Chain A
Amino acid sequence: MTRLVVRLFLIHILGCIAVALGMYYPGVDLALSLLYMGIIIREVISSQIDLPRRRTLAVTIWQSPALILSFASIATIRGWGQANYAFFMLEFFYTPFLPLLSLLARISVANMPLYYYVLLGLPFLIILFYGLLLNLITKDLTKPIS
């Protein structure tokens, strides 16, 4: 599991750099974003770990910085004012997704743009996505051959 977590973090950080640079060439950033998602999905699916639960745990560990930043972005703690910085760092963490998020409809809810809410919810969505995906794959593999 450690190997999967380390590889996810490594690919993620390298992906952040590539996508950030790719934003210089409109269109290239979108392609890199999709490539990033494909590589991460491949990484999780092809991992040697047998139990889908452990793979989902690895994904959760990989998303833990974003989980913390997501909570910190909405938590109102007096005297610190961390919310703005936390969201700033959360956005940087999710650089690989930003080109795709930029295609979202430009609507606002309670004076905040849609992408704000999506970024806050992204760690949960990613964990849920991989949890469901791995469950689905496991079910398919254990289906009896008729």
Chain B
Amino acid sequence: MKKNIGDTVCIWVFPLLSLLLAAGISLANPQAFEKGSVARIYVQNAFQGKTGYGCEGYYGNQIDFSGLEPGDLILGSYPECSYGHYSHAGLYLGKGEVLEGFVDMGVNIQNIEHYRQYAEVCLLRVTADEKTKNRAVQYARNHQGCIFYPLAFKPGDRIFNCTKIMWQAYKIQGLDLAPDPNLWISPDCFRQNANVELIREESI
């Protein structure tokens, strides 16, 4: 009898906890599923057969990377991306290095030239003083090796996706680059933010 109760509890504990957690998240973020939200865009695109970050490949974008400063944001776009126009984001560290997140490499540093693979690239400058940007860059550097998880929510500093790391880096400095009531941050949030200005963008 005891074992039967134990077996039942083991099966039902996670569904009940999931319901509680989902209710808590929904109550804390009532606008998270409204029109235009990242979650809604993803679900709508999923119904149209678009899932993931789009049609990956090497598109050979010829954007000019000169003039970039540490703290600038770089967005890359593949066609048919399911969560918005842009698929990926990186934080420029200087000397041709970009900090970004990938599922297998986690939060890591790459050469900026790999952004030439994207069909569209956008360079953004955060309107903040140099000290703020340098602190943001240092925060991001200190989180190299952190786990990348595509569904990383905004709260927390152990698990990141490509956008959360740079959002968090600036948020800690007092600058919120994605103040919308979204559960997740898409690269489009940065493009639309009032605290960034467009340096240049180029598409194939």
Of B17-25, B59-67, B129-137, which stretch is located at the interface?
A: B17-25
Give the nearest-CB partner of A19 in chain B. Answer: B14
Q: A77-135: which residues lie under 8 A (CB-CB) from chain B?
A: 84, 87-88, 91, 95, 98-99, 101-103, 105-108, 111-116
Q: Which residues of B lie under 8 Å from residue A61 when comparing CB positions?
A: none
- Interchain CB contact under 8 A, A23 and B156: yes
- Among listed B34-42, B112-120, B141-149, B169-177, interface-contacting one: B141-149
Q: CB of A136 within 8 A of chain B?
A: no
CB B29 to nearest CB in A, in angstroms, measures: 9
> In the complex, are the beta carbons of B149 and A23 less than 8 A apart?
yes
Within residues 115 to 168 of chain B, which ones have a CB less than 8 A from any CB in chain A?
Answer: 143-147, 149-153, 155-159
Does A21 have its Cβ within 8 Å of any Cβ on chain B?
yes
Q: Looking at the assembled complex, report how far the CB atom of A122 sits from the nearest CB atom of chain B, in whole angstroms.
A: 13
A43 pairs with B10, CB closer than 8 A: yes
Are A46 and B106 in contact, with the CB atoms below 8 A?
A: no
Partner of A98, one of B14, B15, B149: B149
A residues with a Cβ closer than 8 A to B are 7, 10-11, 14-15, 17-18, 20-26, 28-29, 32, 35-36, 39, 42-43, 46, 73, 84, 87-88, 91, 95, 98-99, 101-103, 105-108, 111-116
A-B contacts, 26 of them at CB < 8 A, read A17-B14, A17-B15, A18-B17, A21-B18, A23-B151, A24-B21, A24-B155, A25-B24, A26-B155, A28-B21, A32-B17, A42-B6, A42-B10, A73-B104, A88-B103, A91-B103, A98-B147, A99-B159, A102-B158, A102-B159, A103-B158, A106-B145, A112-B105, A113-B108, A113-B146, A114-B145
